[in-house]
Structure 1
Amino acid sequence: MNRFDTDIIIAGGGLAGATLALALSRVVPSLRVTVVEAYPLSTDALPEDYQPSYDARSTALAWGSRLIFEELGLWQRLSEHATPIRQIHVSDRGRFGATRLTAEEHGQAALGYVADNRWMGLSLMRELQGTQVQWRAPAEVLGMSSQAGGVSVAVKAGEDVVQVSAQCLVVADGGRSGLRESLGFQARHDNYGQNALITNVSTSDSHRFTAFERFTDAGPMALLPGGAPGCPGHQSALVWTLSDSALEALLGLDSEGRCQRLQDRFGWRLGRFTRMGEVSHYPLKLTTVAEPVRPGVALVGNAAHTLHPVAGQGFNLALRGLVTLVEQFQIGVEQGRPLGDLGVLGGYQRAHQQDWQQTVRFSDSLIRIFGQASAPLAAARDAGLMGLDLLPGAKRWFARRAMGVGGRKPVIRGHGVGTGTEPAHHE
Structure 2
Amino acid sequence: METDKVLFVDDDENLLRGVRRTMRGKFNLSIAVGGEQALKTLAEDGPFAVCIADMRMPGMTGVELLETISKKYPETVGIMLTGNADQATAIEAINRGSIFRFFNKPCDDAMLESGIRAALRQYQLITAERNLIEQSLAGSIKVLTDVLAQLNPTIFGRAMRVKQWCDQIAAAIEYPQPWELGLAALLCPIGMVSLPPDLLSRMSGDKPLQPLERDIVKRTPEVAAKLIANIPRLEHVAEIVGMQNRNFDGTGFPEKGPTGVEIPLGARVLRILNALAERARGDTLVTHNFDELLYHKNRYDLDLLTQLRSLLAVVDTVYDETIYPDGQELTITLKELRVGDYLLTDLETQEDRILLTHGNFISEVQLQRLRIFERLHKFREPIEVRRGGRTLRRGTDVSKAREARETEHAGIEGTQPHTDPAPHAHEPKA
Same fold, judged at TM 0.5 (above): no
Identify the structure with bigger relative contact order (alpha carbons < 8 Å, sequence gap 6+).
Answer: 1
TM-score by length of 1: 0.23
TM-score by length of 2: 0.23
Higher helix share: 2
Higher strand share: 1
Q: Which has the larger radius of gyration?
A: 2
